[in-house]
Structure 1
Amino acid sequence: MLYSTVPVAAKRSTFRERLASGELLRLPGAFNPLSARLIQERGFEGVYVSGAVLSADLGLPDIGLTTLTEVAGRTRQIARVTDLPVLVDADTGFGEPMNVARTVQELEDAGVAGLHIEDQVNPKRCGHLDGKEVVGLDLAVRRIRAAADGRRDPNLLIMARTDVRGVSGLADAVDRARALVDAGADAIFPEAMATLAEFEAVRAAVDVPILANMTEFGKSELFTVDALRDVGVNVVIWPVSLLRLAMGAALRGLETLEADGALTSRLGEMQHRADLYDLLDYQAYSRFDEDVFTFTVTRD
């Protein structure tokens, strides 16, 4: 009922412990607080908050137009409704190293278990598009050092994302991953890996957890969880998948409404009112006000 009763510190320590165990953690991307609650109900190990989803939610492209305030606000709404650890996309840190430190503290206050900072130039773009650029190694390292120095809770996970693979190749990406770990990164997000062997190369190069981004229509093949586990990946995200599914369903619904004038034929595809009320835990609210939950919803 209302918000999660699990303290943020416990979410962070649990996230750290599970990563240290070597198991693979699955973090589907939530596009709103309700979808985060559904991710928890279905038994996943964490929730991811994508910068691409947050910008799309505002009707904007993923090119660095969102602000720290917008990202922190939406992330707080998502993190507070779930008992699961939340990992958030902090883009390039919303500025230079001092801004990165403030970004870390704002997102720490928003209740996340971890965040990742990338090495693209501003304005950034989706990591699976051509033409992206990365900053020099010195600035990339300074961003991660600032992030590590800025956190107040030592259990807050600082993950470094590198987009070098799509700019100058795998060897340079591996070298940069090592440098970012030396700078203080607790985990590495090697963006746009093309093969399982490339993930395996990053795994062999660093002694911290690594993340695989299984975004659709991108540079990476959509590898299974089992295949990624076999090459040593520790975290898998599907950042935009639920939004894409939801928007696809919304489009088909609107097409049916245009054609038929009613959505009767789509009822079987909808979340039933009873399931929604169960997800919202309507009944629990009656402990505070007996007039709240005075109805029965049938599935007929």
Structure 2
Amino acid sequence: MLHAAPTAAQKRAAFRAGLNSGKLQRFPGAFNPLSAKLIEREGFEGVYVSGAVLSADLGLPDIGLTTITEVAGRAQQIARVTALPALVDADTGFGEPMNAARTVQLLEDAGVAGMHLEDQVNPKRCGHLDGKDVVDRDVAVRRISAAASARRDPDFVIAARTDAAGVHGLDDAIERAKAFADAGADLIFPEAMTGPEDFEKMRAAVDVPILANMTEFGKSKLLDAPTLESLGVNLVIYPVTLLRIAMHAAETALREIAGEGTQEGLLDRMQHRRDLYDLLDYPAYNTFDQNIFTFSV
């Protein structure tokens, strides 16, 4: 009730244990705290907080317009309600290496389990669009090094994302991944891998865990969980899937209401009130109110 029972430290320890378990960790993207509760109830290992989703939720394109305050605020709201570890998209760290260091500490304070930094230039673009560019490798290494040195909880996971494969080719992405791991990255996020062969090469090149981004309508082939696990991938994110499903359903519903003048034909496609109340754990709040607020001697 109100807050999830596990502490931030416990969730971070669980995240690290999961990455080292040999079992693929599945982190769907939560577009709000309520969807994070649903992810937990359906048995996933963690929750992802996508920068693209947060931008879209604010009515903005994913081109680096969000601020660390907005990201940390939404991350805290999501982390508060779920017992699962949350991994947060921190874009390029919101500035220079010192800003990346501050970002780590703000997200630690928000209660999340980890964050990832990327090596794009500002203004950044979605990793599956053309026209993006990356900073020099040494600049990207300084970002990762600053982030790793700034964390106060050693279990807070620093993930390094590289977009170099789509700009300079896979070989450069691999060399960057090696350098990021040497700089203190706990997890490597090679963006826009085209298929199994790319993941095989990346897995063979680095000793730290690796992440697969299974986003729809992008440059990566959508690989299933058993395939990713067999390739040695440790973590898979589905960053925008739930938002896309929800927005398509909302669009369909609005068109039907506009055309039919009523939502009655949509009832069998809605989450029932009782299911929403169950997800929110209404009974626990009622029990608290009865035992505390209305308590009398």
Name the TM-score, length of structure 2 as normaliser: 0.97
1:229 lines up with 2:251 in the alignment: no
1:59 lines up with 2:65 in the alignment: no
Instruction: Give the aligned partner of residue 41 of structure 1.
Output: 41
Instruction: Give the alignment of 1:60-139 within 5 angstroms.
Output: 60-139=60-139
Q: Which residue identity is paired with 1:35?
A: S
Instruction: Give the aligned partner of residue 285 of structure 1.
Output: 285
Instruction: Give the aligned partner of residue 196 of structure 1.
Output: 196
CA–CA separation in structure 1 for the residues paired with 2:156 and 2:104? 9
Q: Deviations over 1:125-159 (max 9, x none)?
A: 10000010000011000000000011000000000
What SS class does the counterpart of residue 88 from structure 1 fall into? strand
C-alpha displacement of 1:288: 2.0
Q: Deviations over 1:186-214 (max 9, x none)?
A: 01000000011101110100001100000
Instruction: Give the aligned partner of residue 161 of structure 2.
Output: 161
CA–CA separation in structure 2 for the residues paired with 1:249 and 1:24? 29
CA–CA separation in structure 2 for the residues paired with 1:290 and 1:246? 35
CA–CA separation in structure 1 for the residues paired with 2:196 and 2:265? 42
Q: Which residue identity is paired with 1:273?
A: R
C-alpha displacement of 1:18: 1.5
Count of aligned pairs between the two proteins: 292
Instruction: Give the aligned partner of residue 177 of structure 2.
Output: 177
CA–CA separation in structure 2 for the residues paired with 1:18 and 1:35? 22
**Identity %, equivalent residues:** 68
Instruction: Give the aligned partner of residue 296 of structure 1.
Output: none
What SS class does the counterpart of residue 98 from structure 1 fall into? helix
Instruction: Give the aligned partner of residue 254 of structure 1.
Output: 254
CA–CA separation in structure 2 for the residues paired with 1:127 and 1:99? 21
What SS class does the counterpart of residue 168 from structure 1 fall into? coil
Q: Give the gaps of 5 or more residues in structure 2.
A: 293-297
CA–CA separation in structure 2 for the residues paired with 1:283 and 1:86? 26
1:267 lines up with 2:282 in the alignment: no
Q: Deviations over 1:6-44 (max 9, x none)?
A: 111000011111111221000000000000000000000
C-alpha displacement of 1:291: 10
C-alpha displacement of 1:3: 1.1
1:146 lines up with 2:146 in the alignment: yes
Name the TM-score, length of structure 1 as normaliser: 0.96
CA–CA separation in structure 2 for the residues paired with 1:255 and 1:54? 25
Instruction: Give the aligned partner of residue 216 of structure 1.
Output: 216
What SS class does the counterpart of residue 45 from structure 1 fall into? coil
Q: Which residue identity is paired with 1:133?
A: D
RMSD: 1.1
CA–CA separation in structure 2 for the residues paired with 1:17 and 1:223? 24
CA–CA separation in structure 2 for the residues paired with 1:290 and 1:267? 33
Q: Deviations over 1:200-237 (max 9, x none)?
A: 11010000110000000000011101111111000000
Q: Which residue identity is paired with 1:10?
A: Q
Q: Give the gaps of 5 or more residues in structure 1.
A: 293-300
Q: Deviations over 1:53-80 (max 9, x none)?
A: 0111100000000000000001000000
CA–CA separation in structure 2 for the residues paired with 1:165 and 1:262? 50
Q: Which residue identity is paired with 2:120?
A: Q
Q: Deviations over 1:152-195 (max 9, x none)?
A: 00000000000000001111111111111011100100000001
Instruction: Give the aligned partner of residue 295 of structure 1.
Output: none
CA–CA separation in structure 1 for the residues paired with 2:221 and 2:254? 31
CA–CA separation in structure 1 for the residues paired with 2:252 and 2:155? 43
CA–CA separation in structure 2 for the residues paired with 1:161 and 1:172? 13
Instruction: Give the aligned partner of residue 298 of structure 1.
Output: none
C-alpha displacement of 1:290: 2.8
CA–CA separation in structure 1 for the residues paired with 2:288 and 2:39? 27
Q: Which residue identity is paired with 1:100?
A: A
CA–CA separation in structure 2 for the residues paired with 1:124 and 1:91? 8
